[in-house]
Structures are given as C-alpha cells and as structure tokens.
C-alpha cells in the first residue's frame, strides 16, 4: 500500500502473531481429549473470532479429523487443527497440562502442550505453516519445559514469541 503500511493477508500470519494471552489456558487437568478440545474451543468463542454456528461445524470437523488419525505428535505435544468456513483469520488456543492429557500420541505419551489451530478453509497452506512452526518448537525439550514452567499466560506468549 502506498501509505507505508503493509496490507496483511491471511497467508502472512504466523504463530507469533496468531497466539495471544487471552487464548492460553494454563493448568489443564489430566482429563479426556474431548474435554480438553472443548475447553480450547471455548477460548476461541470467547475471543469473538468464532461464531456459535462456526463452533458447531468446527467441533464436528475436529472430532472427524481425530478419528482419521491422531494429532498427538509425541514429545508431549498435540496440534489438533481444522479448517473453518467463513473464518477471516486463524485462531489458536494453547492448552498447557503439566499432568498430560491422553491424546493417542504417536509415542504413547500424554500431550502436555496442545495447540488448537482453526484456520480459514480458503487457505490450507496457512494451517500447514502454523502446524509446522509449532512442531519445530515442540521438538525442543527446553522449549516444552519452559512453557510447562511458565507462571502466566503472558510468560507463555513471551517464550513462544522469543523462540519464533
């Protein structure tokens, strides 16, 4: 744009921009995967980025996705994701569970960091980019430990942004 500002398209968004203090849930218990996903979806609704009608479709989509194959990637991380019709920008919610949540992870271990990614259905490449960024971070035991030890959602966001 000619006025010195850059128009931000959906494809330009990365995890550093998508994560926010309002969408970090610390201290998730060791309950069921379904309960954890519903809690993370509730954060996305409260942020105003997901309408009630989109919520219903997104929940259905995420549970169908989990039946096809787990999004529990191992090393204590899970990245459940779904494309949502009509979503203007990606929404993410990060759940932190020191006890871990059974997520049928590839290594059989519970997920301690669960990043829910809701992305516009019109841009599949964006979802892939966000998943890849978090997976790269999740391979680093120092990063995972730092997030698990973070005292506040702000600290979680600061750690995540410093690593990207």
CB atoms < 10 A from the CB of 83, how many?
A: 20
Report the alpha-carbon angle 142-147-150, nearest 5: 120
Catalytic site includes residue 81: yes
Catalytic residue among 23, 66, 81, 153: 81
Give dist(CA 136, CA 133) in Å, integer. Answer: 5
Report the alpha-carbon angle 112-83-129, nearest 5: 65
Give dist(CA 163, CA 73) in Å, integer. Answer: 20
Provide the annotated active-site residues.
81
């Amino acid at each position: 744009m000619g006025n010195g500002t850059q128009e931000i398209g959906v494809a330009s968004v990365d995890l550093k921009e998508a994560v926010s203090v309002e969408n970090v849930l610390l201290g998730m218990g060791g309950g069921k995967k379904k309960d954890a996903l519903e809690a993370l979806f509730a954060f996305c609704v409260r942020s105003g980025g997901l309408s009630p009608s989109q919520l219903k479709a997104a929940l259905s989509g995420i549970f169908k996705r989990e039946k096809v194959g787990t999004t529990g990637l191992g090393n204590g991380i899970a990245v459940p994701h779904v494309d949502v019709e009509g979503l203007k920008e990606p929404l993410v919610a990060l759940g932190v569970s020191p006890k871990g949540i059974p997520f049928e992870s590839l290594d059989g271990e519970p997920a301690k960091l669960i990043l829910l990614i809701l992305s516009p259905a019109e841009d599949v490449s964006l979802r892939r980019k966000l998943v890849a960024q978090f997976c790269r971070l999740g391979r680093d035991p120092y990063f995972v430990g730092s997030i698990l030890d973070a005292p506040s959602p702000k600290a979680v966001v600061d750690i995540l942004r410093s690593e990207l």
